[in-house]
């Protein structure tokens, strides 16, 4: 493995490290979800958020709008995104 690591170009190494960071972050969120599930099963009065568990104080909680989105609006948005992003959007 060390030989393969030394043969990487700087961009390949950077992409490798970014992927590792993303996997670690995803694992932290997964673990935090499990912690929240356990906490909620034991204490139904206090609901902790994912940001509270992870210690993310800079993110502000946003409330969901009570707006109901119609199927036509969803299709328009999907068409707009597929035109803008190309084939990256999966239908």
Listed by start position, the domains of the chain span 1-57
The DSSP call for residue 65 is P
> What span, in angstroms and rounded, lies between the C-alpha atoms of 12 and 71?
42
- 27-71 confidence digits (pLDDT tens): 998 988 888 877 777 766 666 677 777 777 655 555 556 777 788
What mean pLDDT, rounded, does the chain reach? 78
pLDDT > 50? residue 91: no
Give the model's pLDDT for residue 18.
Answer: 93
Q: Are 29 and 52 contacting, i.e. CB atoms less than 8 angstroms apart?
A: no
Select the highest-mean-pLDDT range: 6-15, 56-65, 68-77: 6-15
Give the model's pLDDT for residue 46.
Answer: 66
User: Beta-strand (E) ranges in 1-91?
Assistant: none
Give the model's pLDDT for residue 68.
Answer: 78
């Amino acid at each position: 493995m060390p030989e393969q690591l030394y043969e990487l170009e700087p961009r390949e190494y950077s992409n490798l490290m970014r992927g590792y960071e993303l996997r670690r972050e995803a694992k932290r969120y997964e673990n935090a979800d499990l912690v929240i599930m356990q906490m909620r099963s034991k204490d139904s009065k206090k609901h902790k958020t994912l940001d509270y568990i992870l210690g993310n104080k800079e993110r502000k909680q946003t409330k969901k709008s009570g707006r109901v989105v119609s199927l036509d609006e969803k299709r328009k948005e999907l068409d707009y995104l597929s035109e803008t992003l190309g084939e990256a959007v999966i239908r």
